[in-house]
Amino acid sequence: MITSRFFIYKILEKNMEIKIKQLKKTVEVKASIKNLKKSYKFAKNMAEAEEKISEGNDELVLDYLDSIIEFVSDIAKLSKKEKEELEELEMEELMEVVSYIVAKLQGASDSDIKKAKENGEVGLAQESE
């Protein structure tokens, strides 16, 4: 229990700067319990959706994509124009953005993310510049 408490405290000890290079935007995100919970809930929902999508349900694919756009828009407080720009990204670029944001919210530093990328770990494909 002490370890868990320390881990959560470590994650929430400061606000974080998130750089979305695909949108040429940097945002300051509050390291709050609310945002941490959003990131874990989002990751869980995406994992569950990916299993179901393999069955070929088009409606699930649309919901999956909408969920990604809404999550990024909510966390980064994107304007309508920026949200439209986000929707213009290719799937790989969008997944880089969302993976980076989730990793940052869950306590990964830019150096952790860079190291994971160098080691070929899936899901941490973007780093701040």
- In this prediction, residue 129 has a pLDDT band, given cuts at 50, 70 and 90, of very low
Domain spans, the chain:
2-118
What pLDDT is attached to residue 106?
A: 87
Looking up tokens 């919970």, which residue turns up? 37
pLDDT tens digits for 9-40? 455 557 888 989 999 999 999 888 899 899 99
Alpha-carbon span 18 to 129, nearest angstrom: 10
What pLDDT is attached to residue 123?
A: 52
pLDDT tens digits for 82-96? 999 999 999 999 999
What pLDDT is attached to residue 124?
A: 47
- In this prediction, residue 66 has a pLDDT band, given cuts at 50, 70 and 90, of very high
Percent helix, strand, coil in the chain (nearest 5)?
A: 65, 10, 25
Residue 3 has pLDDT above 70, yes or no: no
Alpha-carbon span 48 to 71, nearest angstrom: 16
Q: Which amino acid is at 104?
A: K
Q: What is the Cβ-side half-sphere exposure of residue 72, based on CA atoms within 13 angstroms? A: 29
The residues with which 20 forms a beta bridge, in sequence order, are 25
- In this prediction, residue 128 has a pLDDT band, given cuts at 50, 70 and 90, of very low
Strands 16-20 and 25-29: antiparallel
Quote the pTM value: 0.76
What pLDDT is attached to residue 11?
A: 53
